[in-house]
Amino acid sequence: MATAVGASVAGCQAPSNPLQSGSGQSTESGAETGASTAAPDSAAPSSLSSRYRDAYGAVADSVATVRTYTSSGRGGQGSAFVYDDQYLVTNEHVVADADEVYVRYRDTGWIESSIVATDVYSDLAVLGITRKPDSAAPLSFVDTEPGVGTEVVAIGNPFGLSGSVSAGIVSGVDRTLPAANGFSISDAIQTDAAVNPGNSGGPLVDLDGEVVGVINSGGGDNIGFGISAALTRRVVSALADSGDYDHSYMGVRLTDLTPLLMEANDLDTSEGVYIDEVVPDEPSDGVLRGSTDEELVNDVETPVGGDVVVRMDDTPTPSRQQLSSFLALETSPGDTISVELIRDGEVRTVDLQLGERPPAES
Protein backbone atom coordinates (compact mmCIF):
# COMPACT_ATOMS: atom_id res chain seq x y z
CA MET A 1 0.00 0.00 0.00
CA ALA A 2 2.96 2.29 0.37
CA THR A 3 6.38 2.52 -1.16
CA ALA A 4 8.67 1.07 1.46
CA VAL A 5 12.05 2.19 2.70
CA GLY A 6 14.71 -0.02 1.14
CA ALA A 7 16.26 -2.27 3.75
CA SER A 8 17.85 -5.66 4.11
CA VAL A 9 17.01 -8.05 6.90
CA ALA A 10 19.42 -8.08 9.78
CA GLY A 11 18.91 -11.66 10.87
CA CYS A 12 18.88 -15.25 9.66
CA GLN A 13 22.63 -15.36 9.42
CA ALA A 14 24.08 -18.82 9.02
CA PRO A 15 25.99 -19.77 12.18
CA SER A 16 29.66 -19.02 11.65
CA ASN A 17 32.72 -17.50 13.23
CA PRO A 18 32.71 -13.81 12.31
CA LEU A 19 36.42 -13.50 13.07
CA GLN A 20 37.25 -15.76 10.12
CA SER A 21 36.19 -13.10 7.64
CA GLY A 22 38.37 -10.09 7.03
CA SER A 23 35.42 -7.92 5.96
CA GLY A 24 32.98 -8.99 8.67
CA GLN A 25 30.11 -8.71 6.19
CA SER A 26 27.28 -11.16 5.63
CA THR A 27 26.58 -12.02 2.02
CA GLU A 28 23.13 -13.27 3.02
CA SER A 29 21.70 -10.00 4.28
CA GLY A 30 23.75 -7.33 2.56
CA ALA A 31 23.56 -5.21 5.73
CA GLU A 32 26.44 -2.87 6.34
CA THR A 33 28.61 -3.86 9.25
CA GLY A 34 29.07 -1.66 12.27
CA ALA A 35 30.81 -2.23 15.56
CA SER A 36 28.55 -3.71 18.19
CA THR A 37 29.88 -2.68 21.55
CA ALA A 38 29.97 -5.23 24.34
CA ALA A 39 28.39 -4.10 27.57
CA PRO A 40 30.83 -1.96 29.54
CA ASP A 41 32.36 -3.77 32.51
CA SER A 42 34.91 -1.27 33.72
CA ALA A 43 34.44 1.70 35.92
CA ALA A 44 32.54 4.47 34.61
CA PRO A 45 33.18 7.71 33.12
CA SER A 46 29.86 9.42 32.69
CA SER A 47 26.29 9.44 33.84
CA LEU A 48 25.15 8.51 30.32
CA SER A 49 27.46 5.49 30.28
CA SER A 50 25.99 4.45 33.59
CA ARG A 51 22.48 4.68 32.13
CA TYR A 52 23.54 2.51 29.19
CA ARG A 53 24.87 -0.07 31.65
CA ASP A 54 21.67 0.08 33.66
CA ALA A 55 19.51 -0.41 30.56
CA TYR A 56 21.65 -3.33 29.43
CA GLY A 57 21.60 -4.90 32.88
CA ALA A 58 17.80 -4.64 33.07
CA VAL A 59 17.25 -6.28 29.69
CA ALA A 60 20.12 -8.62 28.80
CA ASP A 61 18.93 -11.66 30.76
CA SER A 62 15.62 -11.54 28.88
CA VAL A 63 17.23 -11.63 25.42
CA ALA A 64 17.96 -14.99 23.78
CA THR A 65 19.94 -16.18 20.81
CA VAL A 66 17.77 -18.07 18.30
CA ARG A 67 19.20 -20.84 16.14
CA THR A 68 17.12 -22.58 13.49
CA TYR A 69 17.54 -25.64 11.29
CA THR A 70 15.64 -26.86 8.25
CA SER A 71 15.06 -30.47 7.22
CA SER A 72 17.83 -30.06 4.64
CA GLY A 73 20.30 -29.14 7.37
CA ARG A 74 20.52 -25.42 6.66
CA GLY A 75 20.76 -23.19 9.69
CA GLY A 76 20.21 -19.57 10.61
CA GLN A 77 20.21 -17.43 13.68
CA GLY A 78 18.77 -14.28 15.16
CA SER A 79 17.55 -12.92 18.47
CA ALA A 80 14.40 -13.00 20.60
CA PHE A 81 13.17 -11.63 23.90
CA VAL A 82 10.76 -12.66 26.63
CA TYR A 83 7.21 -11.40 26.08
CA ASP A 84 5.57 -13.15 29.03
CA ASP A 85 6.03 -16.39 30.97
CA GLN A 86 4.87 -18.46 27.99
CA TYR A 87 6.21 -16.71 24.90
CA LEU A 88 9.22 -15.12 23.22
CA VAL A 89 9.01 -12.53 20.43
CA THR A 90 11.20 -12.63 17.34
CA ASN A 91 10.96 -11.83 13.61
CA GLU A 92 9.04 -14.00 11.19
CA HIS A 93 12.02 -14.00 8.83
CA VAL A 94 14.24 -15.41 11.58
CA VAL A 95 12.16 -18.60 11.88
CA ALA A 96 10.69 -18.83 8.37
CA ASP A 97 10.97 -22.38 6.96
CA ALA A 98 12.55 -23.66 10.20
CA ASP A 99 11.86 -27.23 11.26
CA GLU A 100 13.78 -26.99 14.53
CA VAL A 101 14.24 -23.95 16.77
CA TYR A 102 16.57 -23.60 19.74
CA VAL A 103 17.10 -20.65 22.08
CA ARG A 104 19.90 -19.83 24.47
CA TYR A 105 19.80 -17.27 27.25
CA ARG A 106 22.85 -15.52 28.64
CA ASP A 107 23.43 -18.17 31.33
CA THR A 108 22.02 -21.34 29.73
CA GLY A 109 22.80 -23.88 27.06
CA TRP A 110 20.58 -24.51 24.05
CA ILE A 111 16.89 -25.13 24.83
CA GLU A 112 14.51 -26.52 22.23
CA SER A 113 11.61 -24.18 21.42
CA SER A 114 8.61 -24.20 19.10
CA ILE A 115 7.03 -21.78 16.66
CA VAL A 116 3.62 -20.85 18.07
CA ALA A 117 2.53 -18.45 15.32
CA THR A 118 3.96 -16.11 12.69
CA ASP A 119 2.75 -13.08 10.73
CA VAL A 120 4.62 -12.26 7.53
CA TYR A 121 2.86 -8.90 7.12
CA SER A 122 4.40 -7.53 10.33
CA ASP A 123 7.51 -9.76 10.29
CA LEU A 124 6.70 -10.92 13.83
CA ALA A 125 6.68 -14.40 15.32
CA VAL A 126 5.90 -15.96 18.69
CA LEU A 127 8.00 -18.81 20.10
CA GLY A 128 6.99 -21.08 22.96
CA ILE A 129 8.97 -21.08 26.19
CA THR A 130 9.70 -24.56 27.51
CA ARG A 131 11.98 -23.33 30.28
CA LYS A 132 13.95 -20.20 31.06
CA PRO A 133 16.03 -18.72 33.88
CA ASP A 134 14.16 -16.87 36.62
CA SER A 135 16.16 -13.79 35.68
CA ALA A 136 14.65 -13.78 32.16
CA ALA A 137 11.71 -11.55 33.02
CA PRO A 138 9.14 -10.29 30.48
CA LEU A 139 10.09 -6.97 28.95
CA SER A 140 7.63 -4.09 29.02
CA PHE A 141 6.75 -1.89 26.04
CA VAL A 142 6.62 1.90 25.88
CA ASP A 143 3.10 3.32 26.09
CA THR A 144 3.65 6.12 23.60
CA GLU A 145 5.67 6.57 20.42
CA PRO A 146 9.24 7.61 21.27
CA GLY A 147 10.28 11.07 20.19
CA VAL A 148 12.96 11.50 17.56
CA GLY A 149 16.24 11.84 19.44
CA THR A 150 15.27 9.42 22.23
CA GLU A 151 18.37 7.50 23.33
CA VAL A 152 18.09 3.76 22.72
CA VAL A 153 20.16 0.59 22.79
CA ALA A 154 19.87 -2.48 20.56
CA ILE A 155 20.52 -5.73 22.38
CA GLY A 156 21.00 -9.01 20.55
CA ASN A 157 23.41 -11.41 18.93
CA PRO A 158 25.06 -9.86 15.85
CA PHE A 159 27.14 -12.45 13.98
CA GLY A 160 26.42 -14.83 16.85
CA LEU A 161 28.14 -12.60 19.40
CA SER A 162 25.57 -13.10 22.13
CA GLY A 163 24.64 -10.38 24.58
CA SER A 164 25.98 -7.50 22.48
CA VAL A 165 24.70 -3.96 22.83
CA SER A 166 24.95 -0.97 20.52
CA ALA A 167 23.80 2.54 21.34
CA GLY A 168 22.11 5.29 19.36
CA ILE A 169 18.97 7.36 19.10
CA VAL A 170 15.57 7.11 17.49
CA SER A 171 16.33 8.66 14.10
CA GLY A 172 12.77 8.63 12.75
CA VAL A 173 9.26 7.29 13.27
CA ASP A 174 6.31 6.33 11.02
CA ARG A 175 8.62 4.62 8.53
CA THR A 176 7.38 1.87 6.21
CA LEU A 177 9.23 -1.38 5.56
CA PRO A 178 8.74 -3.95 2.81
CA ALA A 179 6.45 -6.91 3.47
CA ALA A 180 5.00 -9.75 1.39
CA ASN A 181 2.83 -9.30 -1.72
CA GLY A 182 4.01 -5.73 -2.23
CA PHE A 183 2.47 -4.54 1.06
CA SER A 184 4.37 -2.67 3.75
CA ILE A 185 4.93 -2.76 7.50
CA SER A 186 3.66 0.49 8.97
CA ASP A 187 4.73 2.61 11.94
CA ALA A 188 8.34 1.37 11.96
CA ILE A 189 11.07 2.94 14.08
CA GLN A 190 14.36 4.10 12.54
CA THR A 191 17.56 4.13 14.61
CA ASP A 192 21.26 4.82 14.12
CA ALA A 193 22.22 2.13 16.64
CA ALA A 194 24.39 -0.48 14.90
CA VAL A 195 22.22 -3.32 13.55
CA ASN A 196 23.89 -6.37 11.99
CA PRO A 197 23.01 -9.91 10.88
CA GLY A 198 21.86 -11.78 14.00
CA ASN A 199 20.25 -8.72 15.65
CA SER A 200 16.87 -9.42 14.03
CA GLY A 201 14.15 -10.18 16.57
CA GLY A 202 16.01 -8.54 19.45
CA PRO A 203 14.68 -5.56 21.37
CA LEU A 204 15.42 -1.89 20.75
CA VAL A 205 14.93 -0.35 24.20
CA ASP A 206 15.04 3.11 25.71
CA LEU A 207 17.30 3.85 28.67
CA ASP A 208 14.49 2.85 31.05
CA GLY A 209 14.70 -0.64 29.58
CA GLU A 210 11.32 -0.46 27.83
CA VAL A 211 10.93 -1.87 24.32
CA VAL A 212 10.38 0.76 21.63
CA GLY A 213 10.71 -1.72 18.75
CA VAL A 214 11.63 -5.21 17.57
CA ILE A 215 14.77 -4.99 15.45
CA ASN A 216 13.96 -5.93 11.88
CA SER A 217 16.56 -4.77 9.39
CA GLY A 218 19.52 -2.61 8.49
CA GLY A 219 19.72 -0.50 5.37
CA GLY A 220 23.18 1.06 5.40
CA ASP A 221 25.61 2.97 7.59
CA ASN A 222 23.85 4.10 10.79
CA ILE A 223 20.38 3.10 9.54
CA GLY A 224 18.43 0.33 11.24
CA PHE A 225 14.73 -0.35 11.62
CA GLY A 226 12.39 -1.95 14.11
CA ILE A 227 8.75 -2.97 14.27
CA SER A 228 7.13 -0.41 16.59
CA ALA A 229 6.03 -1.27 20.12
CA ALA A 230 2.46 -0.27 19.24
CA LEU A 231 2.21 -2.67 16.29
CA THR A 232 4.09 -5.42 18.13
CA ARG A 233 1.70 -5.33 21.09
CA ARG A 234 -1.28 -5.55 18.78
CA VAL A 235 0.02 -8.37 16.60
CA VAL A 236 1.75 -10.50 19.23
CA SER A 237 -1.21 -10.55 21.61
CA ALA A 238 -3.39 -11.85 18.76
CA LEU A 239 -0.78 -14.41 17.66
CA ALA A 240 -0.48 -15.68 21.23
CA ASP A 241 -4.26 -15.83 21.75
CA SER A 242 -5.47 -17.20 18.43
CA GLY A 243 -2.42 -18.00 16.32
CA ASP A 244 -3.39 -15.45 13.68
CA TYR A 245 -3.61 -11.71 13.01
CA ASP A 246 -5.79 -10.11 10.34
CA HIS A 247 -4.60 -6.88 8.71
CA SER A 248 -7.04 -4.29 7.40
CA TYR A 249 -7.22 -3.94 3.61
CA MET A 250 -8.60 -1.19 1.37
CA GLY A 251 -7.82 -2.71 -2.02
CA VAL A 252 -6.15 0.33 -3.56
CA ARG A 253 -2.77 1.45 -4.87
CA LEU A 254 -1.67 4.71 -3.27
CA THR A 255 0.91 7.40 -3.92
CA ASP A 256 1.86 10.60 -2.12
CA LEU A 257 0.99 13.90 -3.77
CA THR A 258 3.77 15.38 -5.88
CA PRO A 259 3.98 18.77 -7.61
CA LEU A 260 3.19 17.04 -10.92
CA LEU A 261 0.12 15.30 -9.49
CA MET A 262 -1.05 18.54 -7.93
CA GLU A 263 -0.70 20.44 -11.21
CA ALA A 264 -2.27 17.73 -13.35
CA ASN A 265 -5.27 17.38 -11.00
CA ASP A 266 -5.61 21.12 -10.27
CA LEU A 267 -5.21 20.59 -6.52
CA ASP A 268 -4.80 23.40 -4.01
CA THR A 269 -3.45 21.10 -1.28
CA SER A 270 -0.15 19.25 -0.97
CA GLU A 271 -1.41 17.09 1.91
CA GLY A 272 -3.27 13.91 1.11
CA VAL A 273 -2.86 10.50 -0.47
CA TYR A 274 -3.67 9.99 -4.15
CA ILE A 275 -5.53 6.83 -5.18
CA ASP A 276 -3.98 5.65 -8.42
CA GLU A 277 -5.84 2.37 -8.71
CA VAL A 278 -8.80 0.59 -7.13
CA VAL A 279 -8.56 -3.21 -7.20
CA PRO A 280 -11.69 -4.73 -8.75
CA ASP A 281 -14.02 -6.63 -6.41
CA GLU A 282 -12.14 -5.46 -3.33
CA PRO A 283 -13.40 -3.17 -0.50
CA SER A 284 -12.86 0.18 -2.26
CA ASP A 285 -14.43 -0.90 -5.55
CA GLY A 286 -17.47 1.33 -6.14
CA VAL A 287 -16.61 3.52 -3.13
CA LEU A 288 -13.31 5.17 -4.02
CA ARG A 289 -12.04 6.16 -7.45
CA GLY A 290 -8.64 5.58 -9.01
CA SER A 291 -7.01 7.34 -11.96
CA THR A 292 -9.20 7.76 -15.01
CA ASP A 293 -6.63 9.11 -17.45
CA GLU A 294 -3.16 10.63 -17.82
CA GLU A 295 -1.99 14.11 -18.72
CA LEU A 296 1.38 15.31 -19.95
CA VAL A 297 2.95 17.64 -17.38
CA ASN A 298 6.50 18.83 -18.04
CA ASP A 299 6.85 15.97 -20.52
CA VAL A 300 5.86 13.42 -17.87
CA GLU A 301 2.73 11.27 -18.18
CA THR A 302 0.88 11.98 -14.92
CA PRO A 303 -2.27 10.22 -13.67
CA VAL A 304 -5.44 12.25 -13.21
CA GLY A 305 -8.95 11.70 -11.90
CA GLY A 306 -8.15 9.70 -8.76
CA ASP A 307 -9.51 10.54 -5.31
CA VAL A 308 -7.26 12.30 -2.80
CA VAL A 309 -7.81 10.99 0.73
CA VAL A 310 -7.26 13.72 3.33
CA ARG A 311 -8.81 12.18 6.47
CA MET A 312 -9.97 8.84 7.86
CA ASP A 313 -12.40 9.09 10.76
CA ASP A 314 -10.82 11.85 12.87
CA THR A 315 -7.25 11.22 11.67
CA PRO A 316 -5.65 13.46 9.01
CA THR A 317 -3.79 11.52 6.29
CA PRO A 318 -1.24 13.92 4.81
CA SER A 319 0.95 11.03 3.57
CA ARG A 320 0.89 7.29 2.97
CA GLN A 321 2.79 6.73 6.21
CA GLN A 322 0.04 8.33 8.32
CA LEU A 323 -2.70 6.56 6.36
CA SER A 324 -0.99 3.17 6.72
CA SER A 325 -0.31 3.70 10.42
CA PHE A 326 -3.97 4.56 11.01
CA LEU A 327 -5.09 1.37 9.28
CA ALA A 328 -2.50 -0.74 11.11
CA LEU A 329 -3.02 0.61 14.62
CA GLU A 330 -6.61 1.84 14.74
CA THR A 331 -8.68 -0.50 12.56
CA SER A 332 -9.56 -4.15 11.99
CA PRO A 333 -11.10 -6.00 9.04
CA GLY A 334 -14.86 -5.46 8.97
CA ASP A 335 -14.67 -1.95 10.45
CA THR A 336 -16.51 0.80 8.58
CA ILE A 337 -14.55 4.04 8.49
CA SER A 338 -15.42 7.53 7.28
CA VAL A 339 -13.15 8.69 4.44
CA GLU A 340 -12.90 12.39 3.63
CA LEU A 341 -11.61 12.95 0.11
CA ILE A 342 -11.28 15.39 -2.75
CA ARG A 343 -12.93 14.32 -6.02
CA ASP A 344 -13.28 16.59 -9.06
CA GLY A 345 -12.27 19.55 -6.91
CA GLU A 346 -14.98 18.95 -4.30
CA VAL A 347 -14.63 17.66 -0.74
CA ARG A 348 -16.90 14.75 0.06
CA THR A 349 -17.15 11.98 2.65
CA VAL A 350 -17.83 8.30 2.00
CA ASP A 351 -18.10 5.23 4.21
CA LEU A 352 -15.72 2.36 3.53
CA GLN A 353 -15.94 -1.12 5.03
CA LEU A 354 -12.45 -2.55 5.34
CA GLY A 355 -11.54 -6.05 4.22
CA GLU A 356 -8.70 -8.39 5.12
CA ARG A 357 -5.37 -8.60 3.35
CA PRO A 358 -5.09 -11.62 1.08
CA PRO A 359 -2.93 -14.54 2.25
CA ALA A 360 0.75 -14.03 1.58
CA GLU A 361 2.21 -15.98 -1.30
CA SER A 362 4.23 -18.93 -0.13
Residue 304, CA atoms < 13 Å, CB-side half-sphere: 17
Q: Look up residue 9 and give its amino acid.
A: V
Residue-wise DSSP of 273-294: EEEEEE-TTSTTBTTB----EE
Phi, psi of 252 (to 5 degrees): -140, 165
Give the CA distances from residue 313 to residues 213, 255, 293, 322, 359, in Å, rounded to whole numbers and listed in that order: 27, 20, 29, 13, 27
145-152 long-range contacts (CB < 8 A, ≥24 apart) are 145/173, 145/228, 145/230, 146/170, 146/173, 146/189, 146/206, 146/212, 148/172, 148/173, 150/206, 150/212, 151/48, 151/51, 151/206, 151/207, 152/191, 152/193, 152/204, 152/205, 152/206, 152/207, 152/212
Residues identified as active-site: 93, 123, 200
State the DSSP code for 73.
S
d(CA 12, CA 197): 7
What is the CB neighbour count within 10 angstroms for residue 36? 23
d(CA 40, CA 56): 9
Residue-wise DSSP of 210-240: -EEEEEEEEEETTEEEEEEHHHHHHHHHHHH
